[in-house]
Structure 1
Amino acid sequence: MPNQQGATVAELALQQIGPRLKSWRQKRNLTLDDLSRLTDISASTISRLESGKRAPNLELVVPLARALRLELDDLLPRVVPDPRVPRVTKRIDQVTFEQLSPESSPSQAAKVTFPPPESGALPDPKVHDGYEWLYVLSGRLRLVLGEHDIVMGPGEAAEFDTRTPHWLHSAGPGPTELLAIFSKQGKRIHLRAKPSGAAAGL
């Protein structure tokens, strides 16, 4: 991904090789001529590489790393991927799920927003494999879990085995926002389209 100056992450990593090479050479108390004798690479080539005037390649970097008693990773930093999670939002039966973790993560995090409850809507508890943790951000959350039927407010958290029959929704009067962490399987179940007219809930 390009930065503000248009350079890619890989290009920025390559640009660090020269300064790293010079730093390690000086730490080893070696002059350009010393390193040249150890590698059969001319001192002028090493100098140009250190200053960024010569593009690095394996034919240069490998013998230089060996002479400096380094691993390649010491000269060629690992490219760190962009840590930001792409914003993906899905809406199922008026319940909004905003993805907060990458698809590759073993635990899936999401911001879930429930609409105000509908008059006459009844709980419809479900079961599935997994474990779930949730934290109420705003509004009032109704959680039906086994024989429990409780209402939670902002700042309250809960965790439970999803093999226990459970259902949750806004307790009203307005919408409810919460953070939820669950397994990939749990996420698939939560985002599965429900039959038309079914009450929204997890």
Structure 2
Amino acid sequence: MADHTLDQIGPRLKSWRQKRGLTLDELSALTAISSSTISRLEAGKRAPNLELVVPLARALRLELDDLVPPVVPDPRVPRVTKRIDQVVFEQLSPESSPSQAARVTFPTPEPGVVPDPRVHDGYEWLYVLSGRLRLVLGDHDIVMGAGEAAEFDTRTPHWLRSAGPGPAEVLAIFSKQGKRIHLRAKTTAPTGTMGE
């Protein structure tokens, strides 16, 4: 447990004791912990341990979480970048997130590439950050510009690539399964696809 977390236990204990309207002596009588020990614990002059905190929490009708603040993890997402069939994926969400976000850069298109739509379970949401994106979705063949968004059921055959003249950069949000599909290298995928 981090030191700054331990430092918060004493003040929380004192606050809860006062909310319950108990004196140090009254809390001592309920727990068989001396009032001087409780006082030192509240003032941060005694290190908390389970032998002290558990009976005090019980006497105050609290859960341990009420006295021991939760540890807030570092919110930053580690930078992970993958290149699949010339498409660059930069991970924007942690692996544990139920929805996966990525910045996807589709390269400048090569001439003669034929759409090869794929399907998989899930939903996908796209926002074009820059460039022009070609989205083939079922019977639709759409070119989207910067600032445009699309959402679709990925069980509908779909295919994505830059519409040129340069690369297209897209913010994509999809399910974990969709992420696995997108980041699976396929040697037979046409250049410029998401490798679905």
TM-score normalised by structure 1 residue count:
0.87
Structure 1 window deviating more from structure 2 (115-124 vs 167-176): it is: 115-124
Trace 1:65-80 onto structure 2 (pairs within 5 A): 65-80=57-72
**Pairwise CA distance, 1:105:** 2.5
Q: Secondary structure at the match of 2:120?
A: coil
Cα offset, 1:187, TM superposition: 1.5
The yes-or-no answer on 1:151 pairing with 2:143 is yes
* 1:197–1:123 Cα change, 3 Å: closer
Structure 1 unmatched ranges of 5 or more: 1-8
Task: From 78, 81, 96, give the equivalent of 1:86.
Answer: 78
Is 1:123 matched up with 2:115? Answer: yes
Q: 1:160 matched to which residue of 2?
A: 152
Amino acid at match of 2:142: I
Q: In structure 2, give the amino acid aligned to 1:38.
A: L
Report the equivalent of 2:30: 38
| Deviant stretches of 4+, over 4 Å | none
Contact 2:117–2:158 at 8 Å: present in 1 too? yes
CA displacement at 1:185 relative to structure 2:
2.2
**Structure 1 residue 22 displacement after superposition:** 1.1
Is the CA contact 1:91–1:97 (under 8 Å) kept in the aligned structure 2? Answer: yes
Deviations 1:84-103 (A, max 9, x none): 22221101122110112222
Q: Which SS does the other structure have where 2:5 is aligned?
A: helix
- Say which SS state the counterpart of residue 35 (structure 1) adopts: helix
Aligned partners of 2:61, 2:156: CA distance in 1, in Å? Answer: 58
- Structure 2, unaligned runs of 5 or more: none
Residue type of the partner of 1:75? L
2:177, 2:16 → 1: CA distance? Answer: 48
Question: Does the 8 A contact of 2:117 with 2:157 survive in 1?
Answer: yes
Give identity over the alignment, percent: 83
Q: CA deviation at 1:153?
A: 0.9
Aligned-residue CA RMSD (Å): 1.8
Deviation at 1:197, TM superposition (A): 7.9
**Are 1:201 and 2:187 an aligned pair?**
no
TM superposition shift of 1:152: 0.5
Q: How many residues align?
A: 194
Instruction: Tell me the TM-score normalized by structure 2.
Output: 0.90
Contact 1:110-1:179 at 8 Å conserved across structures: yes
